[in-house]
Amino acid sequence: MTREIFWLTLTVILTGLMWIPYVVNRCQVRGLTGAMANPSRNDKPHAEWANRLMFAHDNAVENLIIFAPLVLILDSIDYSTKWTVLACAVYFWSRLAHLIVYTLGLPVFRTLAFTVGFFAQVVLVLAIFGIV
């Protein structure tokens, strides 16, 4: 396993686990039966932090769709440098930071964390085209 694939694996695991806290909140707010029911406009709302976590999860999934293929392309062309490894690590940590600051409701830090992750993806694109 390359180091880039290692960071991709951690990112996938993180993204795959993000739903757990807000579903626990849903069970607390609506009860187990209410949490398993079909969504309704009359449902009791989640806690604000849980709503923000749901949005962070959506954003993580949307960005994983970009990050994962970039890492897999690099793996398929057998290209790995200190910069690609660093970009993948930075991407993972920026996504974790994004999750935390979004859930806490810190908008400026949320945007900064997102932007750092975006630039990590840019480094991977540049690496694919042999620029980095």
DSSP 65-77: HHHHHHHHHHHHT
Question: Which pLDDT does position 31 carry in this prediction?
Answer: 94
Sorted by sequence, the CB contacts under 8 Å of residue 35 that are 6+ apart come out as 23, 26, 27
Low-confidence residues of the chain, pLDDT below 50?
Answer: none
Which pTM was predicted?
0.95
Burial class of residue 21 in the structure, from the number of CB atoms within 10 Å of its CB (0-12 exposed, 13-18 middle, 19+ buried) = middle
Q: What is the pLDDT of residue 132?
A: 82
Nearest to 99 by CA among 17, 5, 8: 17
Residues 6+ apart with CB under 8 A from 40: none
Instruction: Look up tokens 């993972």; give the residue.
Output: 92
**Distance (Å, whole) CA 99 – CA 21:** 12
Give the pLDDT of residue 63. 98
